[in-house]
Structure formats: structure tokens, C-alpha cells
Homo-oligomer: A and B are copies of this chain.
Amino acid sequence: MLTTTVSITLTSLILLAFVIIFNTVHDPLSASIGFSLLGCVITWRLVPELKENFIKINLSGKDLNKINKPVIPESMGIICATVYLICLFLFIPFPFMEWFTDKGKVITRREEFHSPTFPHHKLGEFLSAMLSLQSMVLLGFVDDLFDIRWRYKLLLPTIASIPLLMVYYVNFGETHIVLPIPLRFLFGGYIDLGYLYYLYMSLMAVFCTNSINILAGINGVEIGQSLIIAISIAINDLLFLNGSDPAVEAHLFSLYFIIPFIGVSLGLIMHNWYPSRVFVGDTYCYFAGMTFAVVGILAHFSKTMILFFLPQIFNFAYSVPQLFKLVECPRHRMPKFNPLTRKLEFSKVKLQKPLNLPTLLSLKLFSTFGLIKIMENNVNNIDKKKIIDDDKKDLDYIEVNNFTLLNLILLKFGPMNERTLTICVLIIQVLTSCLAFFIRYRLVHLFYEII
């Protein structure tokens, strides 16, 4: 009975999606919503169907934050990303439909084929964006399979962003940045960053992909944060649709990528929400990050985009001492599951004394801001007579929480259920998005003239 209802609902949703797509030949935005719906339903349906295949080839992992530590499939982001890419492939002709129908004479008159009216540069933007995106999906999947080294994780997104930068160069080539008012007395109104601007954009790709990947590890948090960022981007785009022509085009472009992204992510989160039946893997994180980088770069709102990434930026900055080995970094920094209370607690790392200078400085800095908790190991409590000298040396250590946002939340608010922790992160993400909109649309006059 239930399955019949489900299949009827599914079929009607798919039919609805097709009706939307076929009735919107001249309205790509609606077509995009149709594809988003289609992507959502297909992802939702495919994930449980293909689960077993992933487990069969050992693409699976233990969910350590559960009592019975169930083994569930990993890297299911590849399904969601593949559905997304297929949707976008099928969507490509829609924004160009007017050249195919109204101006349909191009089909029959040979000399008009190379007619300058067709916006080849727009098509180029689409293709380059998809190429960069697909490269990152491939890279993420390979990373899930082989655990590639950090240095490649930084190098490969840079290479993946080449088509994007190339198209940026030939379509816009704008490398001036408008300086905020408070800085103008120093450098003037504009600065031409030149090639540095391309470096900035490719670093953006590296940052977006990796920053989501390090704010991860509990059920639903990867997709949850990505969904909130995506929705914020969509709202921001919608705010521009009544504006001037070039801005409308850019933000439409952004919507064409973001709307289907929201669809497939919703399809996947239904299986990844607490308690997860599937993990999403690095594939999803890279896919999501690159989608944001692509629209941020090609729709020219990379500064606003950075505002939507505030929790990720904080988490990255907070992680720096461990990422760069100033403080010892264990293999996993995920919160620790306490089977007695069934709650998550912050995980700790042991630091052997004597501490070296970088460690001491990092600890000093972060404890000043109350961001870490240092626990001294009280050797005096232990019966000293039983300890021989070597052992005593081993016991001479301190403990500190791992430097991640998740552990910090647990440190400040105490142990909590995994779902609650995810919700906490998502609330923070929503609040910072509100802050981002406030900065972008209310505080902006302090820094820039409003045109």
C-alpha cells in the first residue's frame, strides 16, 4: 500500500517535471525548476537502489557515532552529482532556445550559421563551468577511492579551474577591484590586480571545495550547509532579477546552476539526514564547493559568496594550527561518541611535553579567545612510586580539544545528540547568511558607493 502510494507520487512528480520542462521552451528559469524537481526525484529514487552496489565494491564506511556502528555506503555524492550533470547537459539548449526557434532560419540559410547574433561567449561560459564542475566530481570520486595526498588536493582544483579562468579572461577580462572607501586614501579608488586576480579566483575554487570538506563528519552536515549556502545564493540572485541587463544575465546564469543543485541535494539529504543510510563522501563536498566557486566567479559575486562561507572560513582559520601541523593532528578530528550517554563529546588530542614553540604559541593565541580547552594531565594524582622513569615521561602530557567548529560547539554547549549538533551547525550557517545579507545590503554603504 505504502509503496504504491510512493510510486504514484513519484510518477506524478516526474510527470509534473516533464510538463514544466516541455511548457517552458521560452522560459529557461522555469525549465530549470523542472529539471531541479526531476533531479530531486531521480536522486531520491536511485540512491537506495544503488546502495548495495557501493557496499559490494567496498565503497562503505562505519558510522562511528552509533551504538552498533553500522556499515553504510560511502561516496553516494557521485550519484547526486551525475544526476545533476545529466540534468545540466539536457538543460544547455534552453537558455539559447530563442536562437533555435524564432530565429530558426539559421537552420536553412548557410551563411547565417556564424552569425554574430548567437551568444557563443555565453555558451562558452556554460561549457567551461560544466567542465570545471565535472573535473571536480571526477577528482572527488577518485579521492574517495584512493585517498589522494593533500598536495594534489590543492593542485588539482587549480587545474580544474583553468577552463573557467580562460572563459573569464576572454569574456570579461576584468581584473580591477573597487577598493572599500576606508582604504582609498592609500591606494585610490581602483586597483588592477592583473594576473593576481586569476590567482585569487583559482584559490577561490580550492577554498570552496576544501572548506566544505573539512566541516564534515556527522550525519547531514555536508549537505545541510551546502543547501543553506545554495539557498542564500538563490535568494541573492532573485534580488537582482529586476535590475539592469548585465547583472540579470549573470544572476540568471547563477540560478541555472544553483536551482538543480538544490534539487539533487534535497534528494540526497533525505537519505543522509540523521540517522544516515548513506554517506556522501568527498565527491559531494567537492561537487558542492565547485558549484559555488563556478557561479561566484562567472556571475561576479565572489565577495558576496565569501560572506556566505563565514562558518567555513572560521572553521578553516580555527583548523590552521592542526592542518599545518603546528599542533599535532590526529587522522580523524570528529567528535567522540559516548555509548553510555549516546551523545557526542568533543574529541581531544594528546600533546607530549615539552611543547615546541609553534604549538605553545597556537595554544596561547586560541586560549586567549577562549576557543580551546587545555586539560593538564595531573601526574601527581597517580601513585608515583609505581611509575618508572620512562613511563613517567610518557605521562607528562596535556590534552586539548581538536580544533574544529564541531568540537568547539560541543565544548561550549556540552555533549549533545548527533542530530542536535548538525542542527546547531545549520542554525549558525543560517544566522551567518542573515549577517551576510545585512553586510551586503545594509552595511555596504560604509565601504562602497551604492550605484
Contact = CB atoms under 8 A, between A and B. Distances in A.
A106 to B, nearest CB: 6
B123 A170 contact: yes
Interface residues of A, number: 52
Interface stretch (A88-96, A219-227, A253-261, A352-360): A88-96
A8 interface: no
A58 B59 CA distance: 11
A162 B160 CA distance: 21
Contacts of A398: none
A146 B53 contact: yes
Contacts of A189: none
Contacts of A137: 138
A407 B96 CA distance: 50
Nearest to A107: B173
Nearest to A155: B86
A173 B120 contact: no
A188 B331 CA distance: 72
A218 to B, nearest CB: 25
A128 interface: yes
A124 interface: yes
Interface string A134-158: 1101100110011000000000000
Contact of A146 (B57, B120, B123): B57
Contact of A131 (B58, B127, B167, B171): B127
A385 interface: no
Nearest to A161: B89
Interface in A82-136: 82, 85-86, 89-90, 92-93, 96, 99-100, 106-107, 110, 113-114, 116, 118, 120-121, 123-124, 127-128, 130-131, 134-135
B121 A114 contact: yes
B159 A89 contact: yes
A27 interface: no
Contacts of A110: 174
Contacts of A131: 127, 130-131, 134
B116 A116 contact: yes
Contacts of A163: 89, 92, 127, 130
A172 interface: yes
**8 tightest A-B contacts by CB?**
A120-B120, A127-B127, A120-B121, A113-B173, A89-B162, A131-B131, A124-B124, A53-B146
6 contacts: A57-B57, A82-B138, A90-B159, A127-B127, A134-B135, A141-B141
Given A92-B162, A123-B166, 19 more contacts: A53-B146, A57-B58, A58-B58, A89-B160, A100-B169, A113-B170, A116-B116, A120-B123, A120-B170, A120-B171, A123-B124, A123-B167, A123-B170, A124-B124, A130-B163, A134-B134, A137-B138, A138-B141, A141-B141
